[in-house]
Chain A
Amino acid sequence: MKKYIGKRVLTSLFTLLAILLVLFILMQLMPGSPFNDEKLNEEQRIALYTKYGLDQPIVVQFFKYVGNMLKGDLGVSYNISKNTPISQLIQTRLPISIRIGGCAVGLGAVVGLILGLIAALKHDTIWDSLATVISVIGVSVPSYVFALALSYNFGFKLGWFPMLFSQQDIFGSSVLPSVSLSMFTMASIARFTRSEMLEVLGSDYMLLAESKGISGAALIFRHALRNALIPIITVLAPLIVDLMTGSLVVEKIFAIPGVGSLLVTAIQSNDYNVVIALSFIYSAMYIGIMLVVDILYGVIDPRIRLAKKGD
């Protein structure tokens, strides 16, 4: 088992390094340069390239970057916030994105679970259809429209929640963005719970439990739900990464200083270092979570471990 975990961790590290290299190559493919303000002339551009070491061969840049990264230095931003160390830029933004994303995941998971349960227990009734429709409607409308509608009604018309993010009222001003973000999670969890529950409810051990006289809430929660819930981790894992690394749309509308909008601005303004740093954080979180999920499965289910060995 230890050997398996060790091997898995090593491959993950290797993958991360490969991702970093791919990112570097992608940045080279990016048309244009970070320094193409209309007021710059050619000499200044060359001076800037030299200043930031962008005139060196990509291999040199890559290894320099990896070296600096191991020392905790992610480079500086070229455009978004000129000359600012990226670690400083991200330091305050990442926690905000993680916090709001975390709330969205939590909220979405709970509501999705309830909807999925209702749909499964009342399978093929009007409740089932209703729960399905509700869970799909959340993702049928683009999130920016949804976010604006929420903001218009609950922020502007009713005045229940602040419309914009503020450091003074982190709790209140996170409500609307979290709700907007949670829709996607809610829908996926609801659908997943429903199908898993249906399968569990139809299984032989449920029949056994039922015939043993267990009924009602105990049957559903202790026996059915518990087993149906297990697979949800795999659905949740990538969602968590996605949400915690920030959403451009919601951040833009609610003026949240998170990392999602930062990435888009960075891409559009060719701010290479910021793109690489943020993408890398995303990749690291993604691969990390996948690794954890994989190892957990390996520990728990020998069949998967064996299957892996067979690969």
Chain B
Amino acid sequence: MSMRSFTSKFFKEELIMKKAKAFLAVAMAATLTVGLTGCGGNADTSAPATADNAGTQAASADNSGAAPAETGAASASDLNIMLETPVQSLDPQQATDGTSFEVIANFTDGLMQMDKDGQAVNALAESYDLSEDGLTYTFHIREDANWSNGTPVTAADFVFAWQRAVDPNVASEYSYMLSDIGQIKNAAEIIAGEADKSELGVTAVDEKTLQVELNVPVSYFLSLMYFPTYYPVNEEFFTSCGDTYATSPETVLSNGAFVLDSYEPAATAFHLTKNNDYYDAANIQLAGLNYQVIQDSQQALMSYQTGALDTTLVNGEQVDQVKDDPEFMAIGAGYLWYVAPNIDAVEELKNLNIRLALTHAINRDSITTDVLKDGSAPTYTAVPMDFAAGPDGSDYSADQTKYADVCSYDADKALEYWNAGLAELGVSEITLDMVVDADDAPQKVAQVLKEQWETTLPGFTVNLVVEPKKQRVEDLQNGNFELGLTRWGPDYADPMTYLGMWITNNSNNYGLWSNAEYDAIIAECTTGDLCTDAQGRWERLYDAEKIVMDEAVIFPLYTQCNAVMMSSKVTGVDFHPVALNRVYKSAVKAE
């Protein structure tokens, strides 16, 4: 906002002022001192002061209410964590972003939690029973699970929370986690407004027993239980907060490993302390979590180097600076980055040869090693690596050469496809626009893609259209694009979180591609016969993926990794590509 032209003001004022010589110097002095005393009075001056002074000033600022109640400086065994973006919501049914999920999970437990390998293990649920037909889950909640205000965590808390999640009045963005993905009975109808939320297939049998009814068996249902949309909310407390639920430490309840003790909406710094009443408190080693939002990556790295942070993200440009450091690591983030061609609306992209030419002309290795440098892995499959393990425990996309004949880097082959495509279209030149997020990494990748395409494919011109992310998403959803550089993060640990996107009329099937055979396979694997046959379903999913790759519906680029620095004093932080990106329950920080 400070971009006002001082020069124009300056000149203009001078002209006017020539008329106004007889002005009270007092008035001017007053204005000046406002600026100056404004500092002193508000516990902040730019001139040096004694340490004593600074102390009292800071204290008075705290008392004035401008600053939230702090629990004093972060203690030594607090873990100091850097965040890239502020928390968007601490309401488990409203939150949608990874940062919010991570923080919510710090102070709230669900029925299940993630173990080190991302498998679902008991948390608030002591045990569960599954009916013969796989349609009814009965969870038994721990006796010693309590909220931080002393009331016990009950089955009713889950019922209340889950009903909120599907309530059209709440309009939770992640309601589909209960309907399409969780397949909870009546969820879809309630969301559509065709049924009342009380009809949701979840009931509190008694205070500590929760029963869930599903439409079809869902093989990964337990792993949904650690997803924050499924976390409980205490109704009585929620009502007592009115509209301000989850906007301050006073308006959230904890039943998890930590208690939120300093927070304000969209804060750049906040703090959580260990919850001594947590049922598993004995195994929590950290005294607290100290979060700091830093948007500038260089500041973050410098802060890390001074020891103010225990862990931080590193931008690709700074990897050169830290790559030999033993504290440096690349953490899988799960996101698949890909280029979506608008197959439906763009004549040139309807042509399969052109699409195959584009995907063959991409040198994915060069993008990840020369430009991103953060450990991201080149990807040649429609499902990214390292997030979904099959019935035998192996990664779904471990074999990256599976579709090598239709997706690889091969300039000669690309040229062949290209010339064939041009001949079919009867043109010699193609110009396409590609929409790109205005963020750092996508812009870099897009510039390399443009260069690679234009040098490999003669007569091809790509114009980059850089937009804020929100705008880019909207353009893709409205079909207002030719090529789009986009990404997708997995919601749950199953390939379906990706493959489900390419069915006809899915809102994320940006290119409006449609294939009846593909739709049939996906239906078979979600609600059809294969629901209960894990191995058979797995095989069928590969068939579906092959169709996507053969038709070059998307041009996969890479599976995103984050370059992270983690102090050697810290051990036991669990990283996951799905749902909760970082879990601190077993983290230890050596003194």
Interface residues of A (CB under 8 A from B): 31-33, 35-44, 47-48, 51, 76-77, 79-85, 88-89, 92, 95-96, 98-100, 102-107, 109-110, 139, 143, 148, 151-152, 155-156, 159, 163-172, 174-175, 178-179, 181-182, 184, 187-188, 191-192, 195-196, 199, 226-227, 229-240, 242-243, 245-248, 252-257, 260-263, 268-270, 282, 296-297, 300-301, 303-304, 307
**Closest approach, in angstroms, between the C-beta of B339 and any C-beta of chain A?**
15
B282 partner residues in chain A, CB cutoff 8 A: none
Is the beta-carbon distance between B477 and A255 smaller than 8 angstroms? no
Q: Which listed residue (A110, A187, A300) contacts B23, Cβ 8 A?
A: A300
Q: Does B169 contact A (CB under 8 A)?
A: yes
**Closest approach, in angstroms, between the C-beta of A18 and any C-beta of chain B?**
20
| CA–CA, A269 and B439, complex, Å | 13
A246 partner residues in chain B, CB cutoff 8 A: 1
Q: Which listed residue (B58, B247, B269) contacts A170, Cβ 8 A?
A: B58
A166 partner residues in chain B, CB cutoff 8 A: 269
Is the beta-carbon distance between A300 and B27 smaller than 8 angstroms? yes
Is the beta-carbon distance between B13 and A231 smaller than 8 angstroms? yes
Q: Which residues of B from 18 to 75 have beta carbons under 8 Å from A?
A: 18-25, 27-28, 31-32, 34-36, 38-39, 42-46, 49, 53-54, 57-58, 61-62, 66-68, 70, 72-73
| CA–CA, A106 and B133, complex, Å | 74
Is the beta-carbon distance between B44 and A174 smaller than 8 angstroms? yes
B36 partner residues in chain A, CB cutoff 8 A: 106, 110
> Shortest 3 CB-CB distances between A and B: which pairs?
A231-B17, A102-B38, A230-B23
Known A-B contacts: A261-B295, A270-B470. Give 6 more (CB < 8 A). Answer: A83-B243, A148-B298, A179-B46, A229-B25, A234-B16, A300-B24
Q: Which listed residue (A41, A82, A172, A256) contacts B88, Cβ 8 A?
A: A82
Pick 5 A–B contacts, CB within 8 A, sort by A.
A165-B268, A182-B46, A192-B13, A253-B299, A268-B470
Q: Does B183 contact A (CB under 8 A)?
A: no
Q: Does B569 contact A (CB under 8 A)?
A: no
B4 partner residues in chain A, CB cutoff 8 A: 238-239, 242
Q: Does B463 contact A (CB under 8 A)?
A: no
Is the beta-carbon distance between B17 and A38 smaller than 8 angstroms? no
Q: Does B264 contact A (CB under 8 A)?
A: yes
Is the beta-carbon distance between B470 and A269 smaller than 8 angstroms? yes
Is the beta-carbon distance between B28 and A188 smaller than 8 angstroms? no
| CA–CA, A60 and B238, complex, Å | 31
Q: Which listed residue (A38, A233, A307) contacts B508, Cβ 8 A?
A: A38
Is the beta-carbon distance between B191 and A43 smaller than 8 angstroms? yes
B100's nearest neighbour on chain A, judged by CB, is A82
B302's nearest neighbour on chain A, judged by CB, is A156
**Closest approach, in angstroms, between the C-beta of B495 and any C-beta of chain A?**
17
**Closest approach, in angstroms, between the C-beta of A1 and any C-beta of chain B?**
16
| CA–CA, A231 and B11, complex, Å | 11
Stretch at the interface among B90-98, B220-228, B391-399: B90-98
Mask: chain B, 83-110; 1 = CB below 8 Å from A; 0 = not: 0001111010011100000000000000
Stretch at the interface among B156-164, B172-180, B197-205, B574-582: B172-180
Is the beta-carbon distance between A92 and B264 smaller than 8 angstroms? yes
**Closest approach, in angstroms, between the C-beta of A129 and any C-beta of chain B?**
19
| CA–CA, A284 and B10, complex, Å | 22
Q: Does B473 contact A (CB under 8 A)?
A: yes
| CA–CA, A122 and B73, complex, Å | 50
Q: Does B150 contact A (CB under 8 A)?
A: no
B299 partner residues in chain A, CB cutoff 8 A: 148, 151, 163-164, 253-255
A232 partner residues in chain B, CB cutoff 8 A: 28, 31-32
Q: Which listed residue (B18, B173, B294) contacts A255, Cβ 8 A?
A: B294
B474 partner residues in chain A, CB cutoff 8 A: 31-33, 36
Is the beta-carbon distance between A240 and B35 smaller than 8 angstroms? yes
Q: Does B538 contact A (CB under 8 A)?
A: no
B486 partner residues in chain A, CB cutoff 8 A: 38
| CA–CA, A230 and B23, complex, Å | 6
Is the beta-carbon distance between A82 and B61 smaller than 8 angstroms? no
A107 partner residues in chain B, CB cutoff 8 A: 46
A200's nearest neighbour on chain B, judged by CB, is B21
| CA–CA, A191 and B302, complex, Å | 36
Is the beta-carbon distance between B302 and A163 smaller than 8 angstroms? yes
B477 partner residues in chain A, CB cutoff 8 A: 36, 38
Q: Does B195 contact A (CB under 8 A)?
A: no
Is the beta-carbon distance between A191 and B10 smaller than 8 angstroms? yes
B293 partner residues in chain A, CB cutoff 8 A: 255
| CA–CA, A252 and B1, complex, Å | 13
Q: Which listed residue (A84, A143, A172, A263) contacts B247, Cβ 8 A?
A: A84
B308 partner residues in chain A, CB cutoff 8 A: 163-164
Q: Does B240 contact A (CB under 8 A)?
A: no
Q: Which listed residue (B2, B68, B265) contacts A247, Cβ 8 A?
A: B2
| CA–CA, A155 and B308, complex, Å | 12
Given A151-B299, A182-B46, A229-B14 contact (CB < 8 Å): no
Is the beta-carbon distance between A168 and B70 smaller than 8 angstroms? yes
B94 partner residues in chain A, CB cutoff 8 A: 82-83
A104 partner residues in chain B, CB cutoff 8 A: 46
Is the beta-carbon distance between B468 and A268 smaller than 8 angstroms? yes
Is the beta-carbon distance between B294 and A39 smaller than 8 angstroms? no
Q: Which listed residue (A100, A229, A300) contacts B44, Cβ 8 A?
A: A100
Q: Does B507 contact A (CB under 8 A)?
A: yes
Q: Does B568 contact A (CB under 8 A)?
A: no
B488 partner residues in chain A, CB cutoff 8 A: 38
A41's nearest neighbour on chain B, judged by CB, is B507
A262's nearest neighbour on chain B, judged by CB, is B266
Given A39-B96, A51-B169, A196-B19 contact (CB < 8 Å): no
**Closest approach, in angstroms, between the C-beta of A259 and any C-beta of chain B?**
9
